[in-house]
């Protein structure tokens, strides 16, 4: 892994969010260990092999509507036509005999067409007569309302490529194709640390200058549902030797580590030094607000490490934008930045020039249009500004003031989680 040159203890270049993501995507080698699971146990897992349908779906021609099946060449002249009804075809109970010339078969949605039939006339276009006859009031079109063999999926069709995540829709499609077991990547083991002498667990009595630690829990919750085996490794003290020892030990056991705090320039920020001592740093700073101090590298030869900022909002933002997508890529999934959409501002917004800023926002509707507005104090220590928000929106560092109606890139939380 290439490392940026250090100068005076600091990495020279602060990367944009896109540059940081590209560095992560290039550096991370996806998981290679695989296992085979029952399809019903594979929700959220990443395919290690393409998912191929072994059969045609459906395997027989069937009706898309309730009505009557017939052979259109048997009809001459203009409607109406009167035909004898010689049988019924139900879903799961098909008519096995071939259609006799000049007759019709009562058929229901999903039922197999009898041999010889090429058209369906919906029941609204018919009148049932006495003596087992039906009046057809329209001229049927061949193949109308007929689902052909393989109409949904053809045999040997690729349902999903290697690297796709098995969601409920894909599992339903695989089930329809009769697939029972799938080959998936094993879940990478991810250890989560927090750092800081001031941190205490909820339930403990707080002493002077102490706070309850929330970053580890937020990180674990943000990784729920990902194809990862996430383990809470507790709180590291502000001690250089202890931090180095803990990272070295965890680096031999886990595929990736996520830490929060200890990667800035303070005298008690030891995570970055510990990474340098036990491995290598690829980059350290982002040209981003919130989230400037963000370290990525390796501990040992095979464990990736993501050093998130200690401020809660900064930790969450860099988790959503960079760390979570990178860990999904490690699990064999497709690496991509979260998808944004453009929306106008409901009110003016401002920030300091120089760094791109993701502000916490809320959606509002003005004059029937969906807009976004800043929500709460944007200080990176204020969790209340993100717990009540709907989204993040980007204010580029090249501009300080934004007027109402100006369009910004918006990342809804529903699309990030």
Give the pLDDT band of residue 9 (cuts 50, 70, 90): very low
Residue 343 pLDDT exceeds 60:
yes
- Write down the pTM of the prediction: 0.85
pLDDT of res. 8: 39
Give the pLDDT band of residue 7 (cuts 50, 70, 90): very low
Give the pLDDT band of residue 378 (cuts 50, 70, 90): confident
pLDDT (tens digit, 9 = 90+) per residue, 63-101? Answer: 999 999 999 999 999 999 999 999 999 999 999 999 999
pLDDT (tens digit, 9 = 90+) per residue, 112-142? Answer: 999 999 999 999 999 999 999 999 999 999 9
Contacts for 115 with CB less than 8 Å, ≥ 6 apart: 98, 99
Mean pLDDT lowest among 3-7, 81-85, 102-106: 3-7
pLDDT (tens digit, 9 = 90+) per residue, 273-307? Answer: 888 888 888 888 899 998 888 989 999 888 999 99
Share of the chain above pLDDT 90, in %: 77
Over residues 396-407, the mean pLDDT reads: 94
pLDDT (tens digit, 9 = 90+) per residue, 309-341? Answer: 989 999 999 999 999 999 999 999 988 888 899
């Amino acid at each position: 892994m290439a490392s940026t040159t250090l100068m005076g203890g600091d990495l020279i270049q602060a990367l944009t969010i896109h540059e940081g993501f590209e560095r992560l995507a290039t550096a991370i080698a996806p998981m290679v260990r695989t296992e085979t699971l029952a399809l019903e146990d594979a929700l959220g897992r990443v395919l290690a092999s393409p998912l191929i349908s072994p059969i045609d779906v459906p395997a027989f021609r069937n009706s898309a509507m309730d009505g009557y099946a017939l052979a259109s060449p048997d009809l001459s002249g203009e409607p109406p036509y009167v035909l004898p009804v010689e049988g019924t075809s139900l879903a799961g109970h098909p008519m096995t005999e071939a259609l006799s010339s000049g007759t019709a078969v009562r058929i229901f949605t999903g039922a197999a067409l009898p041999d010889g039939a090429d058209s369906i006339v919906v029941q609204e276009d018919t009148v049932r007569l006495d003596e087992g006859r039906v009046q057809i009031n329209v001229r049927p079109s061949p193949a109308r309302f007929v689902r052909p063999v393989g109409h949904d999926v053809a045999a040997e069709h690729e349902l999903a490529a290697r690297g796709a995540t098995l969601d409920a829709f894909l599992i339903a499609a695989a089930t329809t194709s009769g697939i029972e077991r799938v080959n998936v990547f094993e879940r990478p083991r991810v250890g989560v640390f927090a750092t800081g002498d001031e941190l205490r667990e909820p339930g403990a009595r707080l002493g002077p200058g102490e706070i309850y630690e929330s970053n580890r829990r937020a990180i674990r919750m943000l990784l729920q549902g990902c194809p990862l085996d996430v383990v809470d490794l507790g709180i590291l003290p502000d001690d250089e030797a202890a931090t180095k020892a803990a990272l070295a030990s965890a680096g031999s056991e886990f595929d990736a580590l996520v830490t929060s705090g200890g990667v800035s320039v303070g005298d008690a920020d030891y995570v970055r030094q510990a990474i340098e001592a036990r491995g290598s740093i690829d980059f350290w700073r982002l040209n981003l607000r919130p989230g400037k101090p963000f370290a990525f590298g390796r501990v040992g030869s095979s464990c990736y490490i993501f050093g998130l900022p200690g401020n809660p909002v900064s930790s969450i933002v860099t988790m959503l934008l960079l760390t979570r997508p990178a860990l999904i890529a490690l699990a064999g999934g497709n690496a991509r930045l979260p998808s944004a959409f453009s929306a106008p501002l409901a009110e003016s917004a401002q920030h300091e020039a120089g760094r791109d800023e993701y502000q916490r926002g809320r959606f509002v509707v003005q004059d029937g249009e969906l807009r976004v507005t800043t929500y709460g104090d944007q200080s990176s220590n204020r969790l209340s500004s993100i717990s009540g928000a709907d989204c993040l929106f980007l204010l580029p560092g090249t501009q300080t003031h934004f007027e109402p109606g100006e369009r910004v890139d918006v990342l809804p939380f529903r699309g990030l989680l």
